[in-house]
């Protein structure tokens, strides 16, 4: 299982470097259903997402906000980001 998780992380990083989005997580596709082991499925889903986000961070992208709010790209507030508007 450990090797499978590492493989899925690598796949996530590779997919991000190819320009794929979070919505392209292969574990969220209908062909993996029905899920027989929810914990195993979530581990693989999360491993891909983790690999994707590491590659995203290494490439300098900020497309994946953790708090659900849009992140400022150039120090200016992005609409809907009231916290950034107060800091500006």
Look at residue 81 in the predicted model and tell me its pLDDT. 46
pLDDT of 84 over the 50 cut: no
Peptide bond into 34 cis (omega under 30): yes
> Per residue in 25-36, is it b (16+ CB within 10 Å) or e — as a string?
bebeeeeeeeee
What pLDDT band is residue 1 in, cutting at 50, 70 and 90?
A: confident
Half-sphere exposure of 42 (CA within 13 A, CB side): 3
What confidence tens digit (pLDDT) does each residue in 23-80 have?
999 998 878 767 788 899 999 999 999 999 999 998 876 555 555 555 555 555 545 4
- What's the predicted TM-score (pTM) here? 0.64
Look at residue 45 in the predicted model and tell me its pLDDT. 94
Distance of alpha carbon 78 from alpha carbon 69, whole angstroms: 9
């Amino acid at each position: 299982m450990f090797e499978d998780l590492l493989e899925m992380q690598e796949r996530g990083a590779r997919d991000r470097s190819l320009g794929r989005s979070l919505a392209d997580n292969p574990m969220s596709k209908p062909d993996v259903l029905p899920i027989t082991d929810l914990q195993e499925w979530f581990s693989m889903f999360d491993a891909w997402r983790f690999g994707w986000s590491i590659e995203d961070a290494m490439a300098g992208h900020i497309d994946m906000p953790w708090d659900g709010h849009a992140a400022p790209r150039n120090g200016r507030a992005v609409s809907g980001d009231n916290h950034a508007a107060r800091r500006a």
